[in-house]
Chain A
Amino acid sequence: MALLQIVEPGESAAPHEHRLAVGIDLGTTNSLVASVRSGVAVVLRDELGRPLLPSVVRYLPDGGSEVGYEAQAAQALDPRNTIVSVKRFMGRGITDIANRESMPYIFQGGPGMLRIHTAAGLKSPVEVSAEILRTLRLRAEAALGGALLGAVITVPAYFDDAQRQATKDAAKLAGLPVLRLLNEPTAAAIAYGLDNAAEGVYAVYDLGGGTFDISILKLSRGIFEVLATGGDSALGGDDFDQRIFCWILEAAKLKPTSVEDASMLLTRAREAKEYLTFHGVAPITGRLNSGEVVDLRLSTEIFAEITQTLVAKTMQPVKKALRDAGLSVSDVKGVVMVGGATRMPQVQRAVGEFFRQDPLNNLDPDKVVALGAATQANLLAGNHTAGDDWLLLDVIPLSLGIETMGGLVEKIIPRNSTIPTARGQNFTTFRDGQTALAIQVVQGERELVSDCRSLARFELRGIPPMVAGAARIRVAFQVDADGLLAVSAREQISGVEASIVVKPSYGLSDDEIAGMLKDSLAHVKDDALQRALKESQVDARRLLEAVRAALATDADLLSPAELSRVESDIVKLESAALGDNRRQIMLAMDDLEADTKDFAARRMDKSIRRAFAGRNINELGSDSAAAKSGETA
């Protein structure tokens, strides 16, 4: 096969300044930030040289917060205000959380995403995650020496729409522009595939602190194609800790413990789990508040036995993903292990037995996701050089459907569809003069609405009054490259754009986010206005660079009048970007965007034509050979 010729439309022949972009692994237990420096992806360390940031946030009575090791150290001391594993709460309601009785937090229920009462007030999981992201952003800015163009943030492949949206909202609160949400196993595959020049079908088995993913990918030169994905967004290393914790209670014949004791024992459980990776027996000792002493020994055999069902639970999604990809075990060339929890010997063994080969462990399972994300961020920012170009094709993990009569689900976009994807659906009114319509969107594989997760309720308003059944409302469901759903609607006969009111079932409304943004600014050290100005200056420079690059190659697509308008917009934006009036910058950007809209369409057109023009010359030989084999097949 001839090598794909990939031309970045925003690419200019002239060397441009290196744009600062990072990859962030926002993990259940630990988070990392990485960036490509001098052509190599590296993890950025804190001022003490530590690569990891524990995903722990402690809220203080003065409204401030501590993040990372500092917060982790206070966990046993102040468990109620110290939030660990917040990723498990993202986009989730209170009833979704298993084992919440054994957690030290005071949850606030109600409809929608849960909240936690802390010393600093009521906090949403989005705000807690934003604290972690903000810390990583500051770390990256200090290490790289400037404002970031943006970040690629990884999410479990099996995250649903609400969990993805919550992650994106957290980035917004943290002042971090998101270049892309990238699936964790796909990020790992990028890091692994580019390092090893891998070709063929690979499985990525990703068992993190709180989530499990399996992805089946086809790797070929320059293409990473996800064939199928599956998983469990509430299964991870934490659950193994929980099993040891329960075993301790039973073996030491302890009554239900206080919050502080439980927190201490959970820490001992985690330490024992990690110890058993390299030893046959782990000692577990600790003194409870009552003075009672716990002194136990946990063997690998018992550990394997009490966690056997957890390991088995990961194999069902593995089988399903293989089946969805239309492949069998023998088609899989290699199994890449990702996530700290894959260090457990019983996990390695089970995966090896299933795939009938030794899993690949030559990359640090803690860092591989962040490194892959950094590599992708570098590409998306346009920093690539010729040769390190690749294309990533990912899929949506769960089917999207709408509620039909009788509480049934009609699937509109099936799972494992390559994204971006869209589907149109026609609706009509069933009463004379009806001007509004509600659509319930769900995600999941079951046939009943009540068995799937509700994503949102869309209310269409402003439908022109007609007799029942006469209106033709075309609703478009679009899933973008982040795996996020957007819905738009139009009445086809009158051409009226029906307005849509979205009520996300577990997400936050724009107003809520604006409120949180305001709250957070009161306690953040960096100046928000200054930051917003800087961001718009970065945006303006990015746009100017993109337009200049476009003009350098395709100015002939514009009429002289159009060209002079664009040039005058450029001058205006350049001078605005030098000043400190943010509004002026935004207005100048809007003008330039508006005057280059048609230009963009013409350029896209030209690029698509060129795809074939280039092929006709370069691939004539291989084409005719392929056609011949097609005839005999």
Chain B
Amino acid sequence: MDFNTDHFSLFELPPGFRLDAALLDRRYLEMQSRVHPDRFASAGEAERRLSLQWATRVNEAYQTLKKPLARAKYLLHLAAHEIGSENNAAMPADFLVEQMEWREAVGEARAAGEHHQLEHLHHRLQREIRERYDELAVLLDDQHDLEQSADRIRRLMFIEKLLIEIDDAMVACEE
């Protein structure tokens, strides 16, 4: 087993955006149960060091594949395709307007302490995120359109951040 193998090969999973999450979980636990430092606590120094490196590697691979955004970015990285940064200049104007409207709605609900409204926005955004990932799956796995995929990933980077903002606003309301 090559330490530098890609994350999909590490877990013997077919590379792709669509992924059997339950299988990934199981493979992860199988790997970790073999390499985790707790298995080598009374072993020699060389084995302890190797175990630390492997367990770290397995955790990194699992975290990358588990989250859809990280997984999508990683697929583009494997294909040596630049995603570009998610700065405003790179984004189409209509998308930015839409984002601004979302942020205004969140800001207003937060200022008014409308927890219910925030929950509603959260729910709506989550549905939108799901739809966008479905679209990304087609672009990445079926059409292999890296250019379009990179564009959708940049958008999702914006939207995932927005979701965290709503989360924070909901906590601020509770306190």
Which one, B18, B22, B27, B37, contacts A481 given CB within 8 A? B37
Which residues of B have CB within 8 Å of A546? 42-44, 47
Across the interface, do A604 and B35 meet the contact criterion of CB distance under 8 Å? yes
Which one, B20, B31, B34, B171, contacts A7 given CB within 8 A? B34
From known contacts A7-B34, A607-B35, infer whether A543 and B44 are also in contact, taking CB-CB under 8 Å: yes
Which residues of B have CB within 8 Å of A149? 42
Across the interface, do A391 and B18 meet the contact criterion of CB distance under 8 Å? no
Which residues of A have CB within 8 Å of B19? 630
B145 CB-CB contact with A under 8 Å? no
Which residues of A have CB within 8 Å of B38? 180, 376, 379-380, 391-392, 481
Q: Taking the nearest CB of chain B, how far is it from the CB of A551, in angstroms?
A: 12
B50 CB-CB contact with A under 8 Å? yes
Which one, B22, B41, B42, contacts A626 given CB within 8 A? B22
A244 CB-CB contact with B under 8 Å? no
Interface centre among B19, B34, B42, B174 (most CB of A within 10 A): B42
B52 CB-CB contact with A under 8 Å? yes
Across the interface, do B46 and A593 meet the contact criterion of CB distance under 8 Å? yes
Across the interface, do B59 and A323 meet the contact criterion of CB distance under 8 Å? no
From known contacts A323-B171, A380-B42, infer whether A391 and B52 are also in contact, taking CB-CB under 8 Å: no
Across the interface, do A611 and B171 meet the contact criterion of CB distance under 8 Å? no
Q: CB-defined interface of A386-423 with B at 8 Å, one 1/0 digit per residue?
A: 00000111000000000000000000000001111110
B56 CB-CB contact with A under 8 Å? yes
Which one, A320, A422, A593, contacts B56 given CB within 8 A? A422
Q: Give CA–CA (A204, B73) in the complex, Å.
A: 35
Across the interface, do B44 and A547 meet the contact criterion of CB distance under 8 Å? yes
Across the interface, do A596 and B37 meet the contact criterion of CB distance under 8 Å? no
From known contacts A379-B38, A392-B38, infer whether A10 and B43 are also in contact, taking CB-CB under 8 Å: yes
Across the interface, do A481 and B52 meet the contact criterion of CB distance under 8 Å? yes
A382 CB-CB contact with B under 8 Å? yes
From known contacts A382-B42, A417-B63, A421-B56, infer whether A600 and B50 are also in contact, taking CB-CB under 8 Å: yes
B114 CB-CB contact with A under 8 Å? no
Across the interface, do A604 and B56 meet the contact criterion of CB distance under 8 Å? no
Across the interface, do A223 and B29 meet the contact criterion of CB distance under 8 Å? yes
Which residues of A have CB within 8 Å of B23? 623, 626-627, 630
B148 CB-CB contact with A under 8 Å? no
Which residues of A have CB within 8 Å of B51? 604
Q: CB-defined interface of B111-141 with A at 8 Å, one 1/0 digit per residue?
A: 0000000000000000000000000000000
From known contacts A382-B42, A420-B37, infer whether A608 and B54 are also in contact, taking CB-CB under 8 Å: yes
Across the interface, do A611 and B44 meet the contact criterion of CB distance under 8 Å? no
Which residues of A have CB within 8 Å of B18? 630
Which residues of A have CB within 8 Å of B32? 391, 393
Which residues of B have CB within 8 Å of A420? 37, 52, 55-56, 59
B40 CB-CB contact with A under 8 Å? yes
Q: Taking the nearest CB of chain B, how far is it from the CB of A26, in angstroms?
A: 19
Across the interface, do B42 and A607 meet the contact criterion of CB distance under 8 Å? no
Please name the residue on chain A nearest to B49 by beta carbon. A600
Q: Give CA–CA (A180, B39) in the complex, Å.
A: 12
Please name the residue on chain B nearest to A481 by beta carbon. B37
A478 CB-CB contact with B under 8 Å? yes
B143 CB-CB contact with A under 8 Å? no
Contact residues of B between 9 and 38, Cβ < 8 Å to A: 12, 18-23, 26-27, 29-38
Q: CB-defined interface of A141-170 with B at 8 Å, one 1/0 digit per residue?
A: 000000001100000000000000000000
Across the interface, do A391 and B33 meet the contact criterion of CB distance under 8 Å? yes
A6 CB-CB contact with B under 8 Å? yes
Please name the residue on chain B nearest to A603 by beta carbon. B47
Across the interface, do A6 and B34 meet the contact criterion of CB distance under 8 Å? yes
B160 CB-CB contact with A under 8 Å? no
A102 CB-CB contact with B under 8 Å? no
Q: Give CA–CA (A547, B42) in the complex, Å.
A: 11
Across the interface, do B50 and A626 meet the contact criterion of CB distance under 8 Å? no
Q: CB-defined interface of A309-325 with B at 8 Å, one 1/0 digit per residue?
A: 00000001001100100
Please name the residue on chain A nearest to B14 by beta carbon. A627
Interface residues of B (CB under 8 A from A): 1, 12, 18-23, 26-27, 29-47, 50-52, 54-56, 59-60, 62-63, 167, 171, 174-175
**10 CB < 8 A contacts A-B:** A223-B29, A417-B59, A420-B59, A478-B56, A593-B46, A600-B44, A600-B46, A604-B35, A612-B12, A630-B22
